[in-house]
Chains A and B, each alone.
Chain A
């Protein structure tokens, strides 16, 4: 889990992390729209790029992903601080969040128009239906497991 955690934190609010990672090495590279070497302007550029070119639903997904990350981090921190005494409860709670996160990420990938070619048989509507299906199973397992 830990390695995944480290990574998922940035991936969620897609704009911020890419900047965070990109910042140190941003100087040699030329970003999409803004041919500036100022990190802040790169950040702004990316953000602008993001807010312009991203469909509203994808933004919605990103918001949800961010929310899930926060929930997950909170749970994990609590586990580290207070211990994982009812272990099944911890597992259920935490994996519900993680599972929901990856499912949502899958939805984001599937509904991303850029991946259209990859997912020939999965239309966005189908993707959403799959997402709902998987999520319901996930929630059932988790609630059963937390008992």
Chain B
């Protein structure tokens, strides 16, 4: 049972919770990564605006607690342990969050495995969030910049600004796991500001702006943008960072997306004939579910490696010999909302095993060999290279949207022992020389025998000589 959570304690508690819940309350199962949600929201009044979203969370087993941002007793930790599993940050009414929610604290929280969902609105992006975003390499627009699109705006809400933009569900390549694509003609209403992403491999876009969208300063009195801050698909509406310990931080550019108003809104694209209901409810649920680890969690159940040709070979030995044939097995499961299912590698991708010492010597595909009700076993066999040293079986499978799999198992590969080389008599080429030695030795024995046998004559000679 190995979950890819790097901080031990956190994962252990998570597991404990998981198992307890599994047995005690199977029906209303608490989510895998824990159900304690802190929603930082300014006033009780505000919460009614997002009640559908929050109720939905509660309905999925989360214990959502609403707290104002500046509450003195608010704390993410107690005795060095996090007291929440997930945090949702709604934009604050005033300048910022309280001292409990500094970027350092939030990063500390993610370091312990907590997930954070940050909702922003153009008018209120507190400095804490900006600082955090800088660390994540997410570029946030300045205050009051908004994103508009003159081709994909909502005609129903009649906004002159064209600031309610309608985005399609993201189209993701078949090579990656996809948790956000739903139906293709779904429309997601968005009112806020997009942001840009750096090139860090840990950042993933969840919802990209349409090609014709751009962000500009809404305070300027121009009917058009002279100098857009960002435009097109370089701009993200929702994006996330999955940290190395698989904690997730999701940043949403529009808090309105999560509001009841947008959930129930009917929208119509320019040129389209009839209004349709937004897919915001489903999409936001997807976003929250992914952020809080209901989806895209992959765990390694077991790893086995052994000599291929020997039926009774010990499993997971510490040492192999060069040119051994070995088989490697890894069993993977994926969590899907409330249960473990067999992990599937997307069609355009392949799970690979590396056999490395400093650099990979081999990179071989791991193929599914057997599937049980909740796990898939991937297997491969290969011959250990002719190089001794401390090698590692490494499965390094890091893909967007799923937890990183980076398993490293060190084994020592030793050289041939002195009695494991091919013996000379097994090599036909050596027979001649074996014969050479044999003949020499036999000849020598014969010679010695003859010598001793001829002793009397020689003795006579010796006597003669001494005389």
Contacts and interface: CB of A to CB of B under 8 A. Distances in A.
A15 interface: no
Nearest to B430: A89
B345 interface: no
Given A56-B454, A89-B427, A71 B443 contact: yes
Interface in A42-100: 55-57, 60-61, 64, 67-68, 71-72, 74-75, 78, 82-83, 85-86, 88-90, 92-94, 96-97, 100
Contacts of A132: 448
B443 A92 contact: no
Most A CB within 10 A of own CB, among B421, B435, B447, B457? B447
B158 to A, nearest CB: 90
B433 A147 contact: no
Interface stretch (B18-26, B44-52, B149-157, B458-466): B458-466
**Main SS class of interface, B:** helix
A75 B461 CA distance: 36
A147 B421 contact: yes
Given A139-B441, A139-B444, A75 B433 contact: yes
A22 interface: no
A128 interface: yes
A77 B364 CA distance: 47
Nearest to B441: A139
Given A56-B458, A57-B451, A93 B443 contact: no
B447 A146 contact: no
B439 interface: yes
Contacts of A97: 436, 440
A124 interface: yes
Given A55-B457, A139-B437, 19 more contacts: A56-B454, A56-B458, A56-B461, A64-B444, A71-B436, A71-B443, A74-B436, A78-B432, A82-B432, A86-B424, A92-B433, A93-B433, A93-B434, A93-B435, A96-B440, A96-B441, A100-B440, A100-B443, A142-B437
Interface of A: 55-57, 60-61, 64, 67-68, 71-72, 74-75, 78, 82-83, 85-86, 88-90, 92-94, 96-97, 100, 104, 113, 116, 124, 128, 132, 135, 139, 142-143, 146-147
